[in-house]
């Protein structure tokens, strides 16, 4: 089953009112930008002020897939912590 486009889930609003509107994705293979429309994945709450972002981006330039896995924490500001397997390129 294919994940929905990430932009369908944005903006993501945390319990404290802070919004996450997306990020500037870049291909880990050729370093070209990946448009938000090319990102598929999910945002899952793991607490009132934390969520897991897991997404895959398709790069038109090199036909590759880049993985993005982050923990987002919303305190006074939004903090982003990459998980270990973030930004690996996989051929289609």
Domains of the chain by residue range: 6-91
Query: What's the confidence (pLDDT) of residue 86?
Result: 42
On whether the CB atoms of residues 40 and 56 are closer than 8 A, the answer is: yes
Place of tokens 């390129």: 89
What stretches of 6-91 adopt beta strand conformation (E)? 12-13, 19-20, 25-26, 33-34, 39-47, 50-58, 64-74, 78-82, 89-91
pTM, to two decimals = 0.81
Tokens representing residue 5 in the block: 């486009």
Q: Label residue 84 by pLDDT band (50, 70, 90).
A: confident
| pLDDT for the residue 14 | 94
């Amino acid at each position: 089953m294919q994940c929905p486009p990430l932009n369908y889930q944005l903006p993501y609003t945390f319990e404290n009112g802070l919004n996450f509107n997306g990020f500037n994705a870049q291909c880990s293979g050729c370093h070209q930008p990946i448009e938000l429309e090319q990102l598929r994945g999910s945002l899952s709450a793991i607490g009132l002020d934390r969520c897991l972002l897991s997404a895959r981006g398709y790069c038109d330039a090199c036909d590759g897939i880049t993985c993005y896995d982050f923990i987002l924490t919303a305190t006074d500001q939004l903090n982003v912590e990459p998980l270990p397997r973030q930004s690996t390129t996989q051929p289609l």
